[in-house]
């Protein structure tokens, strides 16, 4: 016999921990134009395309990979120098080794500066700055020949060069062009 609700309808079964509860309905937030600007300045929010997110994520991954190898080679070179010359900080290195260390230090400084610039440009690209996207693409385009040229020494620059080409392609394909164009239109239509 079933329990009846006072209105004569069958009562709902008691809740069980295995009963699926409906998921809450998520509605997009209603965006209203700022006070006094009317509807002419209102544009619905535009979401970042996946190709831009992918390009920035690849850039950050490459920077982490190159940072790891830069630290690894620096530690390895210092260990070799300590083993070769007795680890005495007062000992003078031969001219060729000293020049090699200065060359490595210069190369490391240039790579570190380039990495910092690429990181900042990728952050601005991720935020939707069209000029940062162009600067990141130019920076990547300039670095590709160096990366592919260093392929003869070890495999990481080949992977980096191919990934950089993928970043450049991703920044200018898919919905990325339209997204950056819409951001440019929004910036031009804002009252000053």
Place of tokens 């939707």: 128
pTM over 0.75, yes/no: no
Per-residue pLDDT band for 162 (boundaries 50, 70, 90) equals very high
Residue 122 in domain: yes
Residue 33 domain flag: no
- Note down the domain range covering 104: 50-87+94-187
d(CA 161, CA 157): 6
Query: Does residue 16 have a pLDDT over 70?
Result: no
Q: How high is the pLDDT of residue 166?
A: 95
Q: Which percentage of the chain shows pLDDT scores above 70?
A: 59
Is residue 2 a part of any domain in this protein? no
User: Could you tell me if residue 25 is inside a domain?
Assistant: no
Which of residues 187 and 150 earns the better pLDDT score? 150
Q: Provide the 10 A C-beta neighbour count for residue 42.
A: 11
Give the count of domains, the chain. Answer: 1
Cα–Cα separations (whole angstroms), residue 43 to 30, 31, 36, 131, 180: 12, 9, 15, 22, 14
The verdict on residue 39 lying in a domain is: no
* pLDDT band (50, 70, 90) for residue 159: confident
pLDDT band at 174 (very low <50, low <70, confident <90, very high): confident
| pLDDT per position as a tens digit, 125-158 | 999 899 999 999 999 999 999 888 877 777 778 8
Give domain status of residue 6, yes or no: no
pLDDT tens by residue, 22-70: 555 555 555 555 565 555 554 545 688 999 999 999 999 999 988 888 8
pLDDT value at residue 134: 95
CA distances from 111 to 70, 84, 114, 156 (A): 9, 27, 5, 15
Report if residue 76 sits inside a domain. Answer: yes
Instruction: Give φ, ψ of 187 to 5 degrees.
Output: -65, -35
């Amino acid at each position: 016999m079933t329990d009846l609700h006072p209105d004569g309808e069958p009562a709902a079964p008691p809740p069980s921990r295995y009963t699926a509860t409906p998921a809450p309905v998520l509605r997009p937030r209603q965006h209203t134009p700022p006070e006094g600007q009317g509807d002419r300045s209102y544009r619905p929010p535009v979401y970042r395309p996946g190709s831009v997110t992918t390009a920035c994520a690849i850039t950050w991954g490459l920077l982490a990979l190159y940072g790891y190898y830069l630290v690894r080679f620096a530690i390895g070179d210092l260990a070799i120098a300590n083993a070769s010359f007795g680890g005495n900080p007062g000992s003078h290195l031969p001219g060729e080794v000293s020049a090699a260390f200065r060359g490595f230090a210069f190369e490391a400084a240039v790579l570190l500066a380039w990495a910092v610039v690429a990181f900042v440009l990728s952050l601005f690209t991720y935020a939707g700055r069209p000029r940062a996207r162009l600067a990141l693409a130019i920076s990547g385009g300039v670095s590709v020949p160096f990366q592919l040229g260093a392929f003869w020494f070890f495999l990481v620059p080949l992977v980096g060069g191919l990934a950089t080409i993928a970043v450049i392609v991703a920044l200018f394909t898919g919905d990325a062009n339209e997204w950056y164009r819409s951001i440019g239109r929004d910036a031009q239509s804002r009252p000053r």
